[in-house]
């Protein structure tokens, strides 16, 4: 396939939820509407064949953004555009996008055999008509993710967490997806199993030319996985750039705090700045920079003015950094 190097363009994506009490309750108590601002004016591009990771604490809006990308959640504003793929005959087709969910225990139908789970998208999308060929494809996919074709006759409860996530990956590959949105695919797994799944995903990316949008709260998980990283805080991107620059030259105070939480085997007793405070409510966010109540470097401008991403390759939204 021939096409542009950009797989996805997100421009000022915004998602708000109305969490107000019922109208009568608000009328009697004279309460205003309550709007939860989950995602605010987020913009980025994802290069085809790369891994773009979105990192942040729980509640920062990264999972909502993932659901917007796969169209499970409609945006309140902004645009999320996938670049069509150009075929050899000149026709342009939209890329296939699939999601790998966080919980491998809840994302698989417990009443279906594994073979049925993987075969379902093949039948629904009419990718293969012949039933024997479908079964052969299921066996091939199971082998690709490190399982046995004989596992097709077993139920999900017979597998470990890591094996179930392999089944989820096989189901995503069954759609012939070009882009995989991975919403914390290893957070429910043991550390040793996490490494196995990440290595599998890297191998599949090289083998099939996949594009990953990887959602995580843990920078250590995405360190060797990512080409580009975006750090989110309270619905906004506060720093973004190539992975090597984020780790070698972190600029935003929040990014530095996240990096301080990564264990260092070679220097376990190093001086670290502990993460203090709680993430503010996205219903009533602080004025100015949302991170300023937790930031020791905050200045007067941080409390009144919302910083914008500045920079070319490595961008940061911080009044203190941009003033240096």
By the 8 A CB rule, do 48 and 110 touch? no
Q: How far apart are CA 236 and CA 41, in angstroms?
A: 7
By the 8 A CB rule, do 190 and 222 touch? no
Q: How far apart are CA 36 and CA 39, in angstroms?
A: 9
Q: Locate all alpha helices (DSSP H) within the chain, ordered by sequence.
A: 23-29, 62-69, 114-124, 131-144, 161-174, 191-208, 219-222, 243-248, 253-260, 300-304, 319-323
Per-residue pLDDT of the chain (324 residues; tens, 9 = 90+): 444 699 999 999 999 999 999 998 988 889 899 999 999 999 999 999 999 999 998 889 999 999 999 999 999 999 999 999 888 777 888 899 999 988 888 889 999 999 999 999 999 999 998 999 999 999 999 999 999 999 999 999 999 989 999 999 999 999 999 999 999 888 878 888 888 999 999 999 999 999 999 999 888 888 888 999 999 999 999 999 999 999 999 999 999 888 887 766 555 555 656 556 677 888 888 999 999 988 888 888 999 999 999 988 999 999 988 665
Q: How far apart are CA 238 and CA 128, in angstroms?
A: 44
Q: How far apart are CA 239 and CA 225, in angstroms?
A: 18
What the block records as the tokens of 321 is 């950094």
Q: Which strand ranges, in their side-by-side order, compose the sheet holding 6-18?
A: 35-47, 6-18, 77-82
């Amino acid at each position: 396939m021939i096409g542009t190097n950009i797989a996805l363009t997100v421009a000022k994506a915004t998602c708000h939820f109305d969490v107000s009490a019922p109208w009568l309750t608000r009328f009697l108590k004279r309460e205003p509407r309550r709007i939860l601002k989950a995602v605010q004016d987020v913009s980025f591009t994802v290069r085809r064949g790369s891994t773009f990771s979105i990192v942040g604490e729980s509640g920062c809006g990264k999972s909502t953004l993932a659901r917007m990308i796969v169209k499970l959640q409609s945006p309140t504003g902004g645009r999320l555009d996938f670049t069509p793929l150009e075929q050899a005959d000149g026709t342009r087709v939209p890329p296939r996008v699939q999601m790998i969910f966080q919980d491998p225990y809840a994302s698989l139908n417990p009443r279906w055999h594994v073979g049925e789970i993987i075969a379902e998208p093949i039948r629904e999308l009419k990718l293969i008509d012949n039933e024997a060929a479908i079964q052969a494809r299921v066996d091939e996919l199971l082998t690709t993710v490190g399982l046995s074709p004989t596992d097709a006759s077993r139920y999900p409860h017979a597998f470990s967490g890591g094996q179930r996530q392999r089944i989820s990956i096989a189901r995503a590959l069954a759609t012939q997806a070009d882009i995989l949105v991975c919403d914390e695919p290893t957070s429910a797994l043991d550390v040793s199993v996490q490494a196995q799944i990440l290595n599998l995903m890297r191998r599949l990316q090289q083998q099939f030319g996949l594009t990953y949008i990887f959602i995580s709260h843990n920078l250590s998980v995405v360190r060797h996985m990512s080409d580009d990283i975006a750090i989110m805080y309270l619905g906004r991107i506060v720093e973004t750039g190539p992975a090597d620059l984020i780790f070698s030259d972190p600029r935003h105070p929040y990014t530095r705090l996240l990096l301080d939480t990564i264990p260092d085997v070679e220097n376990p007793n190093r001086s670290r700045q502990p993460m203090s405070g709680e993430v503010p409510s996205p219903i009533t966010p602080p004025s100015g920079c949302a991170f300023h109540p937790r930031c020791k470097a905050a200045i007067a401008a941080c409390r009144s003015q919302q910083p914008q991403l500045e920079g070319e390759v490595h961008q940061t939204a911080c009044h203190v950094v941009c003033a240096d």
